[in-house]
Amino acid sequence: MKQNFSSKEFLSKLKNKDNESVTLLVKEYTSHLMNASFGLGFGESDSEELVQSVWSAFFQNISHFEGRSHIRTYIFGIFYNKSKELRRDRNKYTSSTPFEDIMEDKFDLNGNWIQAPIGPEKFLKQS
């Protein structure tokens, strides 16, 4: 028999941290969350971290879930927000910025021009 994850009875069990209900829910949606994470371009390690973060937030906030939407909608809402957080955190710690990429293409390791820029007159004549 298929479990109705949004039934009031099931939600009550989740809010009371019923081990069987928690296990059923996690088993049902973890693979969906992993696939969604891969679909967003996260690697396996980041996907596992993201899914763990989603479940942690879900169980910390389950008491606030009123059941007005399907529980899957609530879980994926958390997933969406956590994926944005993770992407923002990963981008914050990247060593390269667009400015650095541009400068790397223009200068050698000693800080000299790879190819000297042309003057404005010569540029206009080329156009």
> Is residue 18 helix, strand or coil?
coil
The residue type found at 74 is Y
Q: Is the pLDDT of residue 37 over 90?
A: yes
Per-residue pLDDT at 31: 96
Per-residue pLDDT at 57: 97
Largest interatomic CA distance in the chain = 79
The architecture of the domain spanning 8-95 is Orthogonal Bundle (1.10)
Residue 3 confidence class, pLDDT cut points 50, 70, 90: confident
- What average pLDDT score do residues 12-22 get? 93
In sequence order, the 6+-apart residues with CB closer than 8 A to the CB of 2 are: none
Q: What is the C-alpha separation between 36 and 114, in angstroms, rounded? A: 43
> pLDDT tens digits for 42-71?
999 999 999 999 999 999 999 999 888 999
The residue type found at 75 is I
Q: Is the pLDDT of residue 5 over 60?
A: yes
Domain positions in the chain: 8-95
Token pair listed for 36: 């969604």
Spatial contact of 28 and 3, defined as CB atoms under 8 Å apart: yes
Determine if the pTM surpasses 0.85.
no
